[in-house]
Structures are given as structure tokens and as C-alpha cells.
Amino acid sequence: MDIQLSQIIMLLPTYISLSYVDYRDNLSHRIDCLQECISENSLINLYEDLDEYLYECQQEGIDSYKKELITDIMHTFKTDQKKADTIVNKTYQDDIEEILFQRDGSDAVKNLLKNTDKFSFFIDTGLEIDDGSWSWTRGEQTLWLKKIKRKLKIKSNKWDDNIRLMLSQASYGGQLVVYFYGSIEKLITDDAEKDWKSVLFTNPAIAIINTGCGSGDDTFLQGHSFAIPFNRKNLFIDRYFKYNYVTEVCGMSQNWCKESVATFFFDSVKGNKSVISPLAEEALMDRAYALIYRQGKCSFGDMDSTRHRDVYYTKDFTCGNICPHCGTFWID
């Protein structure tokens, strides 16, 4: 008997999942790409970056459903395996695969994101603290204290001592940032064309960080809350920077700031929208360096030695490491 396509379709499940993601699979190691998604408020780059992986997942899923379909055809129409295989993999192959794709309700990227670790994030307030705090007079320190309190909308003197200590210990200066703990998927809106306009911090963990030399200090403003305009370009995964404060400088766990809560809103709040952080430009340059490295090359001036190949040490004056391909030099 001739078996029609309509009869085959009736054997296929209504709901299909072509992409299986093991609970151990995640994107925790793809920090560069995750930061791109956050900065652009879109997962497009992630889908493109995982294109080959997604294709392999779907192909494995299609092969699995086709094997099940061959067995079902044999049992339903009392035919042998050879004929059932010909129907599935030759006669109606394109039609069957198209239907499988149409009924596929899986999303490997979103499942991988659910398995991905939470991170320490920070938002740059736009206030840059000068270095050299060890030499400041009491009056100079008080001036910076006032600037920080104004930026964070602090009206009481409750946290003055803590902020002063942070200022004195962050002796190389840096950016005044606010930390919070969260997941990647919750920091991207459902509509890429519509973004949040404000962020409310509760019990904020603040810090002065210097990603250039790897230094800084932090403190908690327990009981305080304030809202500022939201600028997505100033939102970062702490681990994105080589000399990141949480892991590299302090050796803290990612959830150290879990009591610091950031709530985002589509409504505006009073205040000037923060200028784009200098760290954003640093992040763009870093992504450009990373892309060049993935293409098998390296960049002069990229001080991340892991993005150079065949680096060797020279004892010639001045001693240090040198990249033979681009000439970048690290003084000993």
C-alpha cells in the first residue's frame, strides 16, 4: 500500500523539542558575548555566536524524531524497516523536516541562559574619583564625600565614616559604581526597541573601582535607597574586565552583593542621564581586541597577554615580555 504524507504527519507529535540542553551546559564562560548582549539589549549576538552549536542540536533532534517515526511507521502500517526508512529519509524527507522545524518549541539559547551562573553586575554612576587619596587633606576628602553623597542622593550623615574609609582605601581612584547580583536573562527587555529609563537601588553596595590597575574599595549603604536615570551603556558584568574588582582584586564570591537590589522601570526619574562611562569605551575596545584574537591575529596595545601568541621574555634593556607578531611589550 502507498503511504501518504498526510498519514505520516498524523504520527508526528504536536509539540516538538529539537534542541536538548543538558543541565550542566551553560554560557558562564562566554562573558564577552554576554556583555555584548547586555550592552545592546539583544540576544542576537548570542544566537549568531552559537549558530554552529544550535545547528548541531537541531540536527540531533531531527535524527532522533525521524528514528522514532520510522519505528511508528513500521508498527502502524505493518511494513519493514527498509521501506519505512525510504519513506522518512527519501520520499518525504524535506516535508517531514520542515514540519519538525515548524513544530519545534525549544530555544536552546534561553535554556542555556537559565543554566548560566548569576553574576555580580555594576552600574557606573558617572562620577570619577581622582587618585592619590593617601595625600588628601581632610577638606579635600570632604569635598569628594559631598560629591558622592550628591550622586547617590544621600541626605544624612549615617554612612559618612564608611564612605570616607572607602575613599581613603581606594587610593588609585576610579569610577563610583553600584553593585548588584542577578542573572543575564533578566537584564534584557522583551522588546529590544524599548528599554528601561530608570533604576532604583535598595541597600546598595557601592564601590570605587579601577579596572586599569586592579584596585578599589567598597561599602554597603544598608537602609538607603535611591533612583537614577538608567543608561544601558553603563551596565557591566564585573567579570568582563580582566582586572575586575570582585574576583581578581578581592577574591569574593559573585553573590557578595546579593543584598543590594536593583529594580528597573520604564518610567523616568528626575536627574541628568549619566554620561557614558569611560569603561564603556574600554569595553568596546576590549571586544574589538577579542574579535581580532578569535580571527587568529593580535593587536598592538592590547595589554591582555592571553590574547597574544608566542609571547617570550627578553633580557635586553628594558627587560620584559614581547609579542613577536604585533610588538606589544610588557615591562618587567
Angle (nearest 5°) at CA 198 between 252 and 257: 15
Distance from C-alpha of 53 to C-alpha of 90, rounded to nearest angstrom: 26
Angle between helices 93-103 and 51-77 (to 10 degrees): 120
What's this model's pTM, rounded to 2 decimal places? 0.84
Q: What is the pLDDT of residues 112-160, one digit of tens each?
A: 999 999 999 999 999 999 998 888 999 999 999 999 999 999 999 999 9
Q: What is the pLDDT of residues 206-252, one digit of tens each?
A: 999 999 888 999 999 999 999 999 999 999 999 998 889 999 999 99
SS3 call for 263: strand
Indicate the domain borders of the chain: 5-115, 119-279, 296-332
Distance from C-alpha of 245 to C-alpha of 239, rounded to nearest angstrom: 8
